[in-house]
Amino acid sequence: MYRRSLRFRIALSFGGLGALMALLLSVASWLTVERMEAAFLDATLDQELEFFLDAWLRDPTTPPPSTRDIQGLVVALDQIDDQRAELRHLGPGRHETTLDGAVVEIGIIDRAGHRFYLIYDERHIDRAESVLIAFLVGFSLLMTGFSTLLGWLLGGRITAPVRSLADDVRAISAGPTTARLEEVYQADDEVGQLADAFRRAWSRMQGFLERERAFTADASHQLRTSVAVISSTTELLLDEGALPAPVEGRIRRIAHAALSLRRQVEGFLLLARETEAGIELAPCHVDEVVRDLVAREQEALPADGPRLEVVVDAHPVLQAPSEALEIIVGNLVGNAIAHGAGPIEVRVTTDGLEVRDDGPSLSPEVLAQVFDRGYRGPAASNGSGLGLAIAQRIGHRFGWTVGLENAVGSGVVARIRFCSDPSASDRTQRR
């Protein structure tokens, strides 16, 4: 659901909170300054205007005030129309207007047949406000950056137990024991509860795996025993000789089927193992395995069955059990025999092999589901729908890809690509 780490989200939350607090403080400061400015201007204009008025009433020759920020003006009421346009329309009271391009605050009062003007130039106040705005912006940025940094540091401290738990959980795969989880994570906090929940789930999963291993061992022992009995019996019958040709052919097919069954059992057991430890890897000559398999398949087919052909373009050698390759190729060839038409060509290439038949093409819907476990297609046959799914799973175990596509013209092509996953190839070669 989340694309960012927990530490990043904590830092982002702290940064957002810091930015919000800085914004609120800046707005509050700005409103306070505006209120103080308005009160200051009102008090200044009132005091200066009253002082000038009292002085002028005592001595009409008193000059109006003239400073950097304040300018005074006295005009007889009958001469108001002679004033500059900006002042002519203004009556007694407080006014904010523009004179000579500057914003000014003007206080006006009428006394003794005269109108008294006191003009306050706000340019210095505006410059001070600009400095204040720059300060508030800098403060907000600094507050946001500091909050983000604090959140990043605190996020590292907060997520450290979670990262440690993740490391310990990854270490369990190398040595399946939860002893460290019990020793380290005993606190009654969220991380401790998570560790305890994982430990309980891992214990249940270990129980399931132990029962599965026991079942696999028992089933494989029984299957191996039965296959061994069939193989030894057929060997004894063939050694006696003087058997009618039809009977000898049937016994040989039984012997080949028993051999194929033994190899399939070994392959299924290989697939059922949790890890690849204990798998004996030896050089597997792909062309030899294919020739042997095709010969047995052809011998088992009736006389009017499809013809199987082997084309060897290269002689790749794999570091993998030959039983695994036999199961994959056997399932692909069996699928071509059951659903395709002859001739069926098995071609060995440098980096894989192809099984091509001349049967009908498959629809896109079938191609999208053909490797799903239990899928049998619209034209249901007696098959279980497991062959291609098992072939793909075994191929994935060794880093091979197994695919199916329509051939150009007609027919279907099944392809195996060896070691499509470079890491799988490196892992196999290291063994």
pLDDT tens digit string along 14-43? Answer: 999 999 999 999 999 999 988 988 888 888
Place 260 in a pLDDT band, splitting at 50, 70 and 90: low
Which range of 78-92, 117-131, 264-278 scores highest in mean pLDDT? It is 117-131
Torsion region of 99: left, alpha or beta (phi above 0 gives left; psi -120 to 50 gives alpha) = beta
Q: Pick 379 or 234 by higher pLDDT.
A: 234
What are phi and psi for residue 359, nearest 5 degrees?
Answer: -85, -165
Percent of the chain with pLDDT over 90: 10
Query: Do 31 and 163 contact (CB within 8 A), yes or no?
Result: no
Place 431 in a pLDDT band, splitting at 50, 70 and 90: very low
Angle subtended by helix axes 322-339 and 286-300, to nearest 10: 40
Whether the CA torsion 268, 273, 279, 283 is positive or negative: it is positive
Token pair of 408, please?
Answer: 């150009």
Q: In one letter, which amino acid is 50? A: E
Place 425 in a pLDDT band, splitting at 50, 70 and 90: very low
Cα–chain center distance at 22: 34
Place 187 in a pLDDT band, splitting at 50, 70 and 90: low
Q: Pick 192 or 354 by higher pLDDT.
A: 354
Pick among 3.20.20.80, 3.20.20.120, 3.30.565.10, 3.30.1490.20: CATH of 283-430: 3.30.565.10
Segments making up each domain of the chain, as ranges? 6-145, 176-274, 283-430
What are phi and psi for residue 120, nearest 5 degrees?
Answer: -110, 120
Query: What global pTM score does this model have?
Result: 0.48
User: What is the pLDDT averaged over residues 378-388?
Assistant: 61
Query: Do 343 and 306 contact (CB within 8 A), yes or no?
Result: yes
Q: Which of 36-40, 170-174, 234-238, 337-341 has the lowest mean pLDDT?
A: 170-174
pLDDT over 90 at 282, yes or no: no
pLDDT of residue 264: 64
Pick among 1.25.40, 1.10.287, 2.40.128, 2.60.40: CATH of 176-274: 1.10.287
First-last CA distance in the chain: 38
pLDDT over 50 at 80, yes or no: yes
pLDDT of residue 135: 92
pLDDT tens-digit series, residues 202-216: 778 777 777 877 777
